[in-house]
Amino acid sequence: MGIKYRRVLLKLSGEALMGELGYGIDPSVVQEIATEVAEVVGEGVQMAIVVGGGNIFRGIKASAAGMDRATADYIGMIATVMNAMTLQDALERMGIPTRVQTAIAMQEVAEPYIRRRAIRHLEKGRVVIFGAGSGNPFFTTDTTAALRAAEIDAEVIFKATKVDGIYDSDPHQNPTARRFQSLTYSHVLTHDLRVMDSTAIALCKENNIPIMVFDLTVRGNIHRAVKGEPVGTIVGGFCEVI
């Protein structure tokens, strides 16, 4: 099977970089992700990445503990830049040209986010990592992923998680939970399945951007996903369980 998606946006949670650690960044996990990204980029896929910061700082959690929400969110944005720079280093050590663009100006370590420049980097075969979320508090990095995907005309969003798709109930608590092969945006919103936050889902629905949810911990899944193989659940079609 050939490559199905030529321009994709990969959404990584900060927790994905943590591996089995309780906090921070596991270099071996970052290296594994970089290796997979390098493989698909080597086949001509244009890859953009939005990374979260929950492995370092979670704004919502800090806000619940009494911190001002806007301040907490800005700190969380800075955490995403730390993750973005770590991922950039791993990719460039593998010979993959990479640019970090941030929604908050950090000119000594990253480019400012400029849509046309980001698209040009992709066209030249560079991986673009978007840091600092959308630059606005009260918005998640899931919403940032949907926004950036629409802006760069991505064909699909890969939502890389620790489960192999979306289920009708928690598979860790319900052994008979059924996995969806495909779902509509409306079904996700109506049933509050929390694949991504509702703002992100609405943005994807409005711009007709499919979301593929799959297990990042399975080696080779990113490569299978760009080929269109059914490695998880795709949001944007009809509802089908398996």
pLDDT digits 0-9 by tens, 65-90: 888 999 999 999 999 999 999 999 99
134 among annotated binding-site residues: yes
Q: What is the pTM assigned to this prediction?
A: 0.93
Distance, in Å, from the CA atom of 131 to the CA atom of 111, rounded to the nearest integer, reads 10
Domain 7-241 belongs to what architecture?
3-Layer(aba) Sandwich (3.40)
227 among annotated binding-site residues: no
- Read off the pLDDT of each residue in 154-158 and give the average, rounded to a whole number: 97
138 among annotated binding-site residues: yes
List, in sequence order, every beta strand (DSSP E) within the chain: 7-12, 46-51, 98-102, 111-112, 127-131, 156-161, 166-167, 179-183, 211-215, 232-235, 240-241
Quote the crossing angle between the two packed helices 69-93 and 27-41, to the nearest 10°. 60
Share of the chain above pLDDT 90, in %: 78
232 among annotated binding-site residues: no
54 among annotated binding-site residues: yes
Query: Quick one: pLDDT band at residue 21, thresholds 50, 70, 90?
Result: confident
The lowest-confidence range among 57-66, 154-163, 192-201 is 57-66
Q: Where do the structural domains in the chain lie, given as residue ranges?
A: 7-241
Query: Quick one: pLDDT band at residue 139, thresholds 50, 70, 90?
Result: very high
Fill in the amino acid letter for 153: D
26 among annotated binding-site residues: no
161 among annotated binding-site residues: yes
Residue with tokens 């493989």: 39
